[in-house]
Amino acid sequence: MTTASDFLPMTRPDIDEATIAGVAEVLRSGWITTGPWAARFEQTLSDYFGGRTVRAFNSGTVTMEVALRMLGVGPGDEVITTPLSWVATANVVLAVGATPVFVDIDPATRNIDTARIEAAITPRTKVLLPVHLAGLPCDLDAIDAIAQRHKLRVLEDAAQAIGSTWRGKRIGGFGDFASFSFHPNKNATSIEGGCLVLPEDADPALAERLRLQGVRRFGLDGMDVDVLGGKANLTDVAARVGFGQLQRVDDFNARRRELAQAYCVALDGLDLGGRGVQLPVRDFTDSNWHMFQVVLPDGVERAGVMQRLKDRGIGTGVHYPAMHLFTLYRKMGFKPGDFPHAERVGAGTLTLPLFPGMRDGDIGRVAEALSAVLREFKV
């Protein structure tokens, strides 16, 4: 029997006492929605991304939608992305009236296979929307070269990639548009929230109007609306949480890397049933290790594995089923077999516990439990 206290969740946010006290101060201050802390959070994010212009939002989903609107993407346009991501990635393309065009993944990295992108480009293609899944960076050199060659814009879905680097350069610190999420499961959280890093040719005032009803203020009492904006501003309470997290995100990521490395060592040393549990790419320099995911062998019933791990006090998750197989997308004509690598990984992927507060001993416990459970399944 495991008790609630030794249950190891898949992830857990780590909010320090200084941040909790800071939130209490904001709550007592008389100004709790978007105000000085939201501005300070944006400035801190800008510093983190090498001085680039950053605007904060109340979700990582809406940041991407705003970026697509800023790029003028709409009906008749195509956006190239991966079928293996949180469904927000393709939903935002639909939300602006455009068409998602999926390109299968590289089964090793589980990110979009850049070698297949050019074959998917048509005269309607406007944007490349790569996702750095689990914080492992996509090949941004290849993506940039394709974008240049075909005069396309790039929006990086970097929701999972805060603190990740590409060839030593911080994701978001260079390139075109980059979108981050501060959902509680991400490596840094503002409870809910997100931010958009803007390229130099983008107008931050337009991002602000799209964030709040399209409103433009002037003088002491002037107000106009010239574009349809939404309601996506970040509260000062959330910004204060995000500010506290940003001070610690590099430490969080260092700890995640250490734990991920320990997972690889522990899993290498165990009998995982021979037929191959696929481990993630061993990138201990560029990835922020947002998740540690294994892909189970074909024929192993994932729900059964999850239940048995849960019985042993270990939480797991699924990130993600291939999204072109969701009903909404099938109605658009997508079908099984369209993207076989994404489908296989999506069907077998299992996210193991990984968060900075884990103890060293937790790694061996999870690895041994996984090994024992897989032996029960006789793979």
Ligand X SMILES: *Cc1c(COP(=O)(O)O)cnc(C)c1O
Residues within the interface to ligand X (CB under 6 A): 59-61, 85-86, 88-89, 131, 157, 159-160, 181, 183, 194
Nearer to ligand X, 183 or 341 (CB): 183
Which candidate in 186, 231, 310, 335 is catalytic?
186
Using Cβ positions, the residue closest to ligand X within the complex turns out to be 60
- CB atoms < 10 A from the CB of 115, how many? 11
Nearer to ligand X, 160 or 349 (CB): 160
d(CA 351, CA 263): 12
Q: Quick check: 296 and 318 in contact, CB under 8 A?
A: no
Nearer to ligand X, 88 or 202 (CB): 88
CB 160 to ligand X: min, Å: 5
DSSP letter string, 135-171: GPPP-HHHHHHHHHHHT-EEEEE-TT-TT-EETTEET
Q: Is 186 a catalytic residue?
A: yes
Q: Return phi, psi of residue 340, to 5°.
A: -60, -35
> In 3D, which of 13, 281, 14, 306 has the Cα closest to residue 133?
281
d(CA 267, CA 295): 13
- CB atoms < 10 A from the CB of 242, how many? 29
Enclosing H/E stretch for 99: strand 99-102
> Vertex 135, ends 103 and 133: CA angle to 5°?
25
- Using omega within 30 degrees of 0 as the cis cutoff, is the peptide bond preceding 329 cis? no
CB 334 to ligand X: min, Å: 19
CB 85 to ligand X: min, Å: 5
d(CA 182, CA 45): 12
Q: How distant, in Å, are the alpha carbons of 72, 108, 300, 374, 376 from that of 275?
A: 48, 16, 11, 11, 14
CB 1 to ligand X: min, Å: 34
Nearer to ligand X, 232 or 309 (CB): 232
Nearer to ligand X, 158 or 300 (CB): 158
d(CA 54, CA 50): 10
Contacts of 376 (CB under 8 A, 6+ apart): 308
CB 216 to ligand X: min, Å: 26
CB 332 to ligand X: min, Å: 19
CB 11 to ligand X: min, Å: 12
Number of residues written out for the chain: 379
Q: Quick check: 367 and 279 in contact, CB under 8 A?
A: no
Nearer to ligand X, 182 or 334 (CB): 182
d(CA 24, CA 236): 11
Nearer to ligand X, 83 or 273 (CB): 83
Task: Give me the active site residues, please.
Answer: 186
